[in-house]
Amino acid sequence: MNANTNSASHSEPLGSASNLLSELPKLSDSADIVDPVDWEVRYQAGDTPWDEGYAAPALTEFLTRHPIHGEVLVPGSGPGHDVRALATHGAHVTGLDLSSSAIALARTYPPAGGEDYEQGNLFALPESWNGRFDWVFEHTCFCAIPPALRVEYAQAITGVLKPGGTFFAIFYLNPSAPSGPPHGVALDEITDLFKSDFELQGEWLPSEAFEGREGREICQLWRKGGLVNSTK
């Protein structure tokens, strides 16, 4: 259709209306938000200071008391230490990472049990992942993404969990880096992000942390609303 033929009621030429529209601020378009970090380049260069060589101490500690079963997603799984810790305790775990080199690195480790690694973008997941997981385990993915994408992060986590599924997060509250990543987060912001679809089931300060992160992390367990999956 010729746009000019559709403007009979306009008192101004269509051209000026189009200009006006293009000047309006966009409300929200996450596709426009570019992550300044090229994660693939970081892995290719071996520039991965977050890789401590073993699973997050707070996760290890939790698993000794509360084994996690069922389908688990670990977004931003990097070298996969958390994935394998979860798999060792009997879960079927999917490690997701944007970087193909991170996925390749994770696959170099001996299998721990039921784990898979998939290269992909948390913000562009296949529809088949909707409602697929009993648990999502978060550790240093949320603090790595641009803060402007946090609403999309919460939407992605909500989308992949089953009703009654659990989001277990170790949030990095106040990293020492002057500018992220890692980006810190306030408790109020976390609550605002998750309170409409989740209920907070537990919250604690981990007694174990990687060196330099002591006292800077908080663990939270959020249960997604809907029918509770009592078998997991």
User: Which residues are at the interface with ligand SAM (CB under 6 A)?
Assistant: 39, 50-51, 75-79, 96-99, 102, 121-123, 139-141, 144-145
Nearer to ligand SAM, 33 or 228 (CB): 33
**Rounded to the nearest whole angstrom, what is the least distance from the CB of residue 212 to ligand SAM in the complex?**
13
**Rounded to the nearest whole angstrom, what is the least distance from the CB of residue 140 to ligand SAM in the complex?**
4
| Closest-CA residue to 91 (of 106, 73, 107) | 73
Nearer to ligand SAM, 50 or 109 (CB): 50
User: Do the beta carbons of residue 109 and residue 55 sit within 8 Å?
Assistant: no
**Rounded to the nearest whole angstrom, what is the least distance from the CB of residue 27 to ligand SAM in the complex?**
22
**Rounded to the nearest whole angstrom, what is the least distance from the CB of residue 73 to ligand SAM in the complex?**
11
Nearer to ligand SAM, 140 or 220 (CB): 140
Nearer to ligand SAM, 84 or 224 (CB): 84
**Rounded to the nearest whole angstrom, what is the least distance from the CB of residue 159 to ligand SAM in the complex?**
14
**Rounded to the nearest whole angstrom, what is the least distance from the CB of residue 70 to ligand SAM in the complex?**
20
Nearer to ligand SAM, 102 or 185 (CB): 102
Burial (0-12, 13-18, 19+ Cβ within 10 Å), 224: buried
Nearer to ligand SAM, 54 or 204 (CB): 54
